[in-house]
Amino acid sequence: MTGFSAQNGTRDVGFCVLLLTLWVLAALSGHWQSPSSDLAPLYLAGHFLAEGRPELVYSAPPHLVGGTPAEWLETVAAMGQPWKDAFPYIYPPIWAKLLSYVTPHVGPFAFTRAAMVLQVSLLAGAVVLAARLARPAGVRPLIWVAVSLALIQTSVFSQTALYFNQPQITVMFLTLLAFERLQAGQDRTAGVLLGLAAAIKILPGVFVLLFFYERRWHAVAAFAATVGALVALSFLLAGPELHAEFLEAVDRVETSLPVVPSNASVQVSVLLLLHKLGVITLPITGVGAYLSPQVFPAVPVVALAARIAFLAAALMFAYRLWPLPPRTRRAYGLLALSVLIALFSPVGWLHYYTISLLLLPQLAFRASPRVAILALVVFGALTSSTLYINSVVVFGWDWTVMNITVSVVWLLVLALIWVLAGQRAPERAD
């Protein structure tokens, strides 16, 4: 703990634990009755397999997202309506199969509450992991924790994740833990953890690029072995039919573009901007639009352009960050890649940015205290859940403006990483 005495360091750790504990209690109190709509499909998928109704696992609304599948309504009602909405199940079959051994013994209400306790605790733990990965030299742990908790308590990204009890929180924790273990020299453990995250949601697998970038071949091998083992186990437990349905659901996600307030990807923002300028016409209603190639033929072109832009940006950052000291390079690289993944995916859901949010303070702490405070306040204001939600619901503002604003903010974050990468910062040994 460079920059202050061991006694102050011990006191800091005590205050950090206290702050994190108080935040966990406050978050649980605030979200105990939240809808948990993103957690619901995990329970229901396990329930349907336990009841011998596998054909219902991958049921979905017409646009795949946006509500409870019609085939699930009767079951949800019979359970006592534990969730206001139950979004579709778009996860590998293995998790539905494993949960099928749980759901006969645990009710939906108890499952939802237990998951909320777990995920709030993991989000608090993620604050600690982000600090270990990215806290600059001379920044007290207490300051990092206080700033991080202020951000996750107010941000639309983290609050959306908590509101819907999004499994992304668990995936994010595993991803950060993987890179914390990589930093500690535990490459094989890092690979296993990232492989597990990728087996829950496919997208975290993109972070393996950083293993290649750092030439950590043991981590790459452990990642590949973990993913391969879990895929094989999934086929063994769940069979090929469910996997065919899963791949079909993934294909529908990849070939469509939900233009909705919760999708803050560059693809959506660019199309919204062109729509506002009158260059193109989108079939947007008050709640957005769901673009498929049949509705909007340019969707495949937009998707291809986004992938090319992602690869180009990733290569540019790889070149830019390489001369930096290893720890700084990893911290900047993890933040940059997390932003790029969310920005250039066809579905850059707001909760995808939570991992970026936790790594963000490192940029502010490179500046003077006054500039850091101003930057954090401006960022916090522009991305606050209160502004994002109330601007549409209460103030009656155009949600598309807020959507474009979020994308622009994260593009500015990438620009700041680029600038700071040109300034060598001192290393801090943990």
Say what the pLDDT of residue 53 is.
Answer: 96
- Whether the per-residue pLDDT at 171 is higher than 60: the answer is yes
Say what the pLDDT of residue 428 is.
Answer: 47
Average pLDDT for residues 323-338, to the nearest whole number?
96
Q: How far is CA 201 from CA 5, 246, 361, 400, in A?
A: 42, 12, 26, 27
Say what the pLDDT of residue 8 is.
Answer: 56
Both tokens of 60, joined, read 């979905």
DSSP H or E stretch at residue 279: none
Instruction: Report the Cα–Cα distance between both ends of the chain, in Å, rounded.
Output: 8
- Whether the per-residue pLDDT at 233 is higher than 80: the answer is yes
Q: What is the domain count for the chain?
A: 1
In a domain, 132, yes or no: yes
In a domain, 1, yes or no: no
In a domain, 427, yes or no: no
Q: How far is CA 248 from CA 91, 158, 328, 341, in A?
A: 12, 29, 40, 22
Average pLDDT for residues 132-145, to the nearest whole number?
94
Domain around 60:
6-420
- Whether the per-residue pLDDT at 333 is higher than 90: the answer is yes
In a domain, 286, yes or no: yes
In a domain, 430, yes or no: no
In a domain, 426, yes or no: no
In a domain, 295, yes or no: yes
Average pLDDT for residues 220-225, to the nearest whole number?
98
Give the C-alpha separation, 320 to 331, whole Å.
13
Model confidence pLDDT, tens digit, residues 7-64: 556 788 899 999 999 999 999 999 999 999 999 999 999 999 999 999 999 999 887 7
- Whether the per-residue pLDDT at 395 is higher than 70: the answer is no
Considering only 168-182, 224-238, 261-275, which range has the smallest mean pLDDT? 261-275
DSSP H or E stretch at residue 282: none
| Residue carrying structure tokens 């090319």 | 308
Both tokens of 15, joined, read 């205050």
Closest of 334, 80, 42, 312 to residue 165, by C-alpha: 42
CB atoms within 10 A of CB 53: 13
- Whether the per-residue pLDDT at 1 is higher than 70: the answer is no
DSSP string, 224-268: HHHHHHHHHHHHHHH-HHHHHHHHHHHHHHHT-EEESTTB--HHH
Model confidence pLDDT, tens digit, residues 268-287: 999 999 988 889 888 887 77
In a domain, 428, yes or no: no
